[in-house]
Chains A and B, each alone.
Chain A
Amino acid sequence: MRRTILILASLALAGCGRGVRSRLEEPYPQKLSTWRLFTGKPAELHPNQGVVPYDLNTTLFTDYAAKKRFVWMPPGQAAVYKPDDTFEFPEGAILAKTFSYADRIIETRLLVHAHSGWVALPYVWNAAQTDAVLDVNADPVNIEWQGTKIHYAIPNSNQCRECHDQSKATGPIGPKARHLNRDQDYPEGRFNQLEYWTRIGYLKGAPDVSKIARQPVWNDPSTGSLDARARAYLEVNCAHCHSPNGSASNTGLYLTDLPTDAMRMGFCKTPVSAGRASAGLLFDAVEGHPEESILLHRMESDEPKVMMPEIGRTLVHREGAALIRQWLSSMTLASLAGGCGVVRPAI
């Protein structure tokens, strides 16, 4: 009798085996399908039970690839709300981000909160689109998309860390309250993501949504002022490195959307290690003068060393650069470099 119960219990457990199968230490699964994040036809990315889609207000530019994001939490576990920073996710949490062009899925990047901390696992989809294989150092993929040839670079797992490390600890970047504060379509209907996460037990400690800041959508003027949208764009595309604990902290150029003084954002700030990327310009940013601003020059470049961000794109994000150009132009006119107080040198 007792044995029967045991067998039944283990059957029940095996039943859970239809759900997501998390792995929190090496060796990590070679195939994406092993995680069981998706059910049905693999390329349709139909989320398995407990796998929840999410979106961010403003997103990182990755050579115009389309992205789908999902989060999964271990049963009974929730992320802890933080007002400004990325939420504190429980051990076992999985974030999945899939990159595609039209119907072709290129890669799915997993961030897994493993025993040893967060690990970044890049999975590359096969041509048949039936599964993806873990490749910590994948080759670039040639893509033709809307008439543009893209030599799409899949970041190796060290490059993942270049953006995802803060003070050398790997972690998610996107899931911050102001980034997630938006509506999303769920099977049950359309809801605010933060409220939904709270309701299903994925988030604890969040205040009422009306009290949470909402980052504007960079290319939707109805969501915020030009200044707010430009700051949001820079935050999402630059601040993971350009912040006090990011990998470009040594530059002292901090492009977060939190209150920062103008010099830290590059205004009248002389470059530190730009080299020829300065293009002969004197300051990272000059109010009223996009053409005098190194920051914009580097966004408009696709040349290694000059271009910013350094990795994650091979094309210029024309629309993003246009936003920053418009933003810099809109500012009070300083009288070129002189407005930044350059005087005759005495050496």
Chain B
Amino acid sequence: MFKRLTLSLSLLLLSSCAKKEEGIAAGPNFEKDLQTALIQAKSGAVIELPEGVFPMTGTLSLTVANVTIRGKGIGKTVLSYKNQTSGAAGIQATGDHFTLEGLTIQDTKGDGVKINDVDGVTIRKVRAEWTGGPNEKNGSYGIYPVKCKNVLIEDSASSGAADAGIYVGQSKNIIVRRSRAEFNVAGIEIENSEGADVYENVATNNAGGLLVFSLPDLPVKGSRQTRVFNNQVFANNTPNFAPKGNIVAKVPTGTGIIVMATHQAEVFGNDIHDNDTVNVSIISYLSTGNPMNDATYDPFVSQVSLHDNKIGAGGTKPAGVAAELIAPKYGKALPGIMWDGIAKGDPQICIHNNGDTGFLNYDAGGEFKKMSTDLKSHSCSLPALAAIELPGGTR
């Protein structure tokens, strides 16, 4: 009787062990086993990765919907692509309702994790990094959902990206929160997207901290309804290391937040300081000097509300045009908020309650001749934008 009980107990133990060991075992076949598991995964699968550093040679790809890839945590499960010989991205996912959590992706030749055309993206506790620090040979994006819907990126990080560390493009309904972007060209970027809440993030030591962009020539047009709040955006003074030709190469080193060609952006409650060119910049696409061949593209900003931010020191060592053409005329450290002054009609750029930080309209459209520090024409207010809600709450 007693013996039988012991036996069944050990059987129970065995079966619970077996359950734990579902997933990919460490060892020389790790990469191949993991890719095979991703190919054969059924909807609802959770693929568990063990602790360890795993050398990878090619892109891992996932096309099945409702799959979770889960490691043991940032720095614990590390996929190292230092010796990648094929593909560009580290992980590429196209199945809906994709969750990636608890791992580090290192030194990919291209993007860290690219999620393309997916409804339902959760990136949680993921770090994408290039361990050699800023280098133009690094991959473009760390965490990169594009053409997606219902995107949540939280408690994640990226460093070393030669474009943007955390980038969400051509997507709808987005939350990026509690994440950290450091030593990228752009820390966090929301581009040609509709409905984004970007909050409680830290962007520091990038060339530009946090960008809200709308660009031409893309299939999904325009940027709308972006809230950027309660972020810390400071000391983004790493020299811009983007390869020429990429739009992000034009971001002046030392920029905190840039709102470009965007409609309906609300920037509030942020702590922005010590960005050497400018803490907050609002510009038209025309200021990039790039050609526009896209007749459907609107290069102007409109309905930008900048309120209740804490804007500290900055603008003391400007780069680019700000150094060459603006600072010599303005005369001292550049003010905390700058606008290129290029607009179509009334752009409704409403600026209030940002402490005693200065403002400058530098009249880029008029060859910098009629620069103005007058905030009166920006004393409007816009209705608050609605919070983003993801299906099933904010998960």
Contact = CB atoms under 8 A, between A and B. Distances in A.
B10 interface: no
Contact of A346 (B141, B147, B321): B321
Given A263-B294, A273-B141, A281-B245, A136 B219 contact: no
Contact of B110 (A139, A168, A305): A305
A165 B117 CA distance: 12
Contact of A263 (B136, B242, B293): B293
A343 B289 contact: yes
A305 B320 CA distance: 29
Chain A interface size range: 35 or more
B39 interface: yes
Contact of A269 (B140, B163, B293): B293
B291 A342 contact: yes
B94 A247 contact: yes
A304 B217 contact: no
A152 to B, nearest CB: 11
A347 interface: yes
Contacts of A280: 243-245
A117 B93 CA distance: 20
A291 interface: no
Contacts of A342: 289-291
Contacts of B286: 346
A63 interface: no
Chain B interface size range: 35 or more
A344 interface: yes
Chain B contact residues, majority secondary structure? loop
Contact of A270 (B61, B220, B290, B340): B290
A150 interface: no
B32 interface: yes
Contacts of B39: 136-137, 156-158
B139 interface: yes
Interface in B79-123: 84-88, 94, 109-111, 116-117
A271 B286 CA distance: 17
A139 B29 CA distance: 11
B188 to A, nearest CB: 16
B139 A305 contact: yes
A100 interface: no
A58 interface: no
Interface of B: 32, 35-36, 38-40, 61-63, 84-88, 94, 109-111, 116-117, 136-141, 144, 146-147, 162-163, 169-170, 215, 217-220, 242-247, 250-252, 281, 283, 286-294, 320-322, 340, 364
28 contacts: A136-B36, A159-B61, A161-B94, A162-B61, A247-B94, A249-B219, A250-B146, A250-B218, A252-B217, A263-B217, A272-B218, A273-B141, A274-B243, A275-B163, A275-B246, A276-B136, A279-B245, A283-B245, A304-B84, A340-B291, A341-B291, A345-B250, A345-B290, A346-B287, A346-B321, A347-B251, A347-B252, A347-B340
